[in-house]
């Protein structure tokens, strides 16, 4: 099974969690996710997710000057995003407990 099939809902929670700790821009966020182990992740997966989360008011974006060229859009978590992250954490804990019980039986 390809990892991408499992990634869809999980990636959102991971992005929110990273943005809870620090404000960052898209490319840097992609690099952080890769460092955490999402080796096959592409910017083409993350940028649409950032746009969706911004439209849903889970994150807010702010253009800032970059020392390396054009302005960068930095993202940070909103109050709604904090609530969504807490909900994700609760759901993830319950789901992972169930899956672990099933996988470890016998």
Q: For residue 11, what are the domain limits? A: 3-104
Secondary structure element (H or E) that encloses residue 61, with its range: strand 59-66
Residue 2: predicted pLDDT: 57
Residue 7: predicted pLDDT: 75
CATH code: domain of residue 32: 1.10.10.10
Alpha helices, H only, the chain: 3-21, 26-36, 43-55, 79-104
Q: How many domains does the chain have?
A: 1
CA distance 31 to 40: 11
With a CB cutoff of 8 Å and minimum separation 6, the contacts of 59 are 16, 19, 50, 53, 75, 76, 77, 78, 81
pLDDT in tens, 21-74: 999 999 999 999 999 998 888 899 899 999 999 999 999 999 999 888 899 999
Residue 87: predicted pLDDT: 96
CA distance 58 to 15: 11
């Amino acid at each position: 099974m390809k990892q991408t099939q499992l990634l869809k809902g999980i990636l959102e929670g991971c992005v929110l969690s990273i943005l809870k700790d620090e404000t960052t821009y898209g490319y840097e966020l992609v690099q952080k996710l890769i460092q955490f182990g999402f080796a096959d992740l592409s910017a083409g997966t993350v940028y649409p997710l950032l746009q969706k989360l911004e439209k849903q008011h889970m994150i807010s974006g702010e253009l800032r000057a970059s020392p390396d060229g054009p302005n960068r859009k930095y993202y940070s978590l909103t109050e709604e995003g904090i609530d969504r992250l807490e909900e994700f954490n609760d759901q993830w804990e319950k789901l992972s407990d169930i899956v672990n019980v099933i996988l470890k039986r016998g």
